[in-house]
């Protein structure tokens, strides 16, 4: 059965919007769109198409932006999905760049597709976005990828993402009067190294999806690969059972080391108490799918107790440190992915990024491992699609 596809405002975009709200600065008088340059260094000869899709944070409406930075809300959806209008923007040829404008108070995605335009559909709930791990998705044979952004009074938050899949390596950057910062660039030959490492791990090998011409179109993240029947849905079960049986202390806020929660395992339940001994959170043992998705038993509400504990637990399980290190978050990148059944997908991606940063799962920002750039007063931003 085909899984329901999510709206364009993704979990990461929600997280970015929340982060932006937490660190928001006073509103800027400059409401003009932000120049955003997409540069193509892939070496591929395919035509490139760009899409700027997301949510108007002022109105809450889903829609798209054109190359000039004008936001338009979607209209015309139906109970049975119908084709969305073609809102593609011509992208850069190899060796060139295309500068578009991003409207203020928008959060969403910037898609890049190669050779073909993406197929989007509209429902009464909003946009149905590409989900090539789902049976029958019309974008399965298209090479494409995306990065995610929020642009509001707190500035720009821009990240590459591999939460669902890895396809087109891309460096994200932001420029201001303070200079330019960037992240997400792979090492030389990094894309192929990631492919080779995942293909060489038997449990993950089928998550590498190849097109009819031999081009690797994408590597599906473990959760999406399992959804598509390309990976065992119980891959992580044994490790989870072992890790869930160990006491753990969660210190979720790096700037508040005195805020600590003690985890007490009892059968399949892990309960947390605060400094007074009061029980503040209880989690049932998660399934492999819960860990891959950081949801279900590990769902993280937007609060100051349960959510921070849940995201810490999920990051520790993803990285294989829960049950090994008794305080979480704990360790460094050198300690991650060393468990008996590691997340080879996340491991390979992080190992092959020039600065080690990536968004390989939803809470990869725990301990600042994510490929995110932020500036409160940006003058421009961009994506550079790197060679492969």
| Confidence (pLDDT) at 243 | 98
| Confidence (pLDDT) at 30 | 67
Segments of the chain with pLDDT less than 70: 1-30
* C-alpha span between 50 and 59 (Å, rounded): 24
Asked if domains 11-187+349-385 and 237-340 share a fold, the reply is no
* C-alpha span between 194 and 201 (Å, rounded): 11
DSSP 386: P
* C-alpha span between 329 and 315 (Å, rounded): 8
| pLDDT tens-digit series, residues 164-180 | 999 999 999 999 999 99
Please, are residues 270 and 264 in contact by the beta-carbon 8 Å criterion? yes
* C-alpha span between 194 and 214 (Å, rounded): 16
For the chain, the structural domain boundaries read: 11-187+349-385, 237-340
What are the residue numbers of the active site? 148, 164
Q: Does residue 329 have a cis bond before it (omega within 30 degrees)?
A: yes
| Confidence (pLDDT) at 31 | 84
| Residues 6+ away with beta carbon under 8 Å from 254 | none
Architecture category of domain 11-187+349-385 in CATH? Sandwich (2.60)
* C-alpha span between 346 and 319 (Å, rounded): 8
**What superfamily in CATH does domain 237-340 come from?**
Beta-1,3-glucanase, C-terminal domain (3.30.920.50)
Q: What is this structure's pTM?
A: 0.92
């Amino acid at each position: 059965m085909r899984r329901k596809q999510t709206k364009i405002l993704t979990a990461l975009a929600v997280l970015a919007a929340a982060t932006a709200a937490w660190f928001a600065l006073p509103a800027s008088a400059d409401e003009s769109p932000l120049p955003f340059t997409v540069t193509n260094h892939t070496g591929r000869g395919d035509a490139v198409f760009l899409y700027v899709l997301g949510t108007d944070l002022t109105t809450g409406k889903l829609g798209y932006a054109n190359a000039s930075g004008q936001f338009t809300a979607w209209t015309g959806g139906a109970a049975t999905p119908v084709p969305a209008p073609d809102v593609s923007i011509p992208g850069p040829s190899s060796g060139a760049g295309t500068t578009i404008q991003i409207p203020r108070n928008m959060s969403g995605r910037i898609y890049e597709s190669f050779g073909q335009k993406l197929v989007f559909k509209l429902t009464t709930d909003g946009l149905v976005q590409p989900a090539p791990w789902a049976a029958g998705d019309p974008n399965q044979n298209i090479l494409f990828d995306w990065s995610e952004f929020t642009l509001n009074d707190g500035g720009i938050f821009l990240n590459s993402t591999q939460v669902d899949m890895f396809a087109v390596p891309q460096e994200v950057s932001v420029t201001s009067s303070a200079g330019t910062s960037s992240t997400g660039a792979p090492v030389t030959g990094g894309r192929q190294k990631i492919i080779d490492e995942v293909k060489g791990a038997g449990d993950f090998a089928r998550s590498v999806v190849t097109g009819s011409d031999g081009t690797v179109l994408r590597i599906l993240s473990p959760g999406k690969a399992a959804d598509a029947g390309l990976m065992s849905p119980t891959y992580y079960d044994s490790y989870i059972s072992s890790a869930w049986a160990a006491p753990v202390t969660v210190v979720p806020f790096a700037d508040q080391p005195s805020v600590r929660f003690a985890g007490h395992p009892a059968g399949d339940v892990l309960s947390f108490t605060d400094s007074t001994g009061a029980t503040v959170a209880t989690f049932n043992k998660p399934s492999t799918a819960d860990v891959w998705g950081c949801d279900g038993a590990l769902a993280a509400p937007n609060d100051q107790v349960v959510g921070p504990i849940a995201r810490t637990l999920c990051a520790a399980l993803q990285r294989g440190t829960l049950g090994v290190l008794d305080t979480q978050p704990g360790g460094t990148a050198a300690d991650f992915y060393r468990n008996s059944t590691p997340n080879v997908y996340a491991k390979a991606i992080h190992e092959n990024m020039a600065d080690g940063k990536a968004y390989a799962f939803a809470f990869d920002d725990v301990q600042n491992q994510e490929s995110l750039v932020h500036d409160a007063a940006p003058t421009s931003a961009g994506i550079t699609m790197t060679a492969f």
